[in-house]
Amino acid sequence: MLFTRLFAAQFKSLDVTLSGLLDYEPVSATALLNGTMPPREGRVAVVTAGTADLKVAREAERTLAFMGVTCSLFVTMSVSPDFGADARADRGDPRA
């Protein structure tokens, strides 16, 4: 069984007999009970455009894993060249 939107405060309030049975992951706010479904064919890539998307990406990754789907998570941490100091300097922007 997959639980979603199980935030840390809610998880901490569970009786230890239940919380001890759950595979809880706080970033995605998900928990698994009794493992995952059998493996399925295929692969999925979850790609984020930065850390702001990390919670949703981790939830997708955990949901896919629960469904038996092999998944890879790719989190980009770079800044767009249009917004960085180097890009401003290249355009002659004095704020560089």
The answer to whether 5 and 58 are in contact (CB under 8 A) is no
Does residue 96 form part of some domain? Answer: no
Does residue 58 form part of some domain? Answer: yes
Say how many domains are in the chain.
Answer: 1
CA dist list (Å): 17 to 36, 70, 79: 20, 30, 45
Q: Which of the pair, 31 or 53, is modelled with greater confidence?
A: 31
Q: Averaged over 3-16, what is the pLDDT?
A: 97
Handedness of CA 83, 74, 6, 9 (dihedral sign): negative
Which domain does 17 fall in, by range?
2-90
Quick check: 86 pLDDT over 90? no
The confidence score (pLDDT) of residue 77 equals 75
| DSSP-based three-state secondary structure for 86 | helix
Does residue 95 form part of some domain? Answer: no
Q: For 61-77, what is each residue's pLDDT tens digit?
A: 999 999 999 999 999 87
Q: Which of the pair, 51 or 85, is modelled with greater confidence?
A: 51
Question: pTM of the entire structure?
Answer: 0.76
The strand ranges marked E within the chain are 2-3, 22-25, 30-33, 43-48, 70-75
The confidence score (pLDDT) of residue 93 equals 55
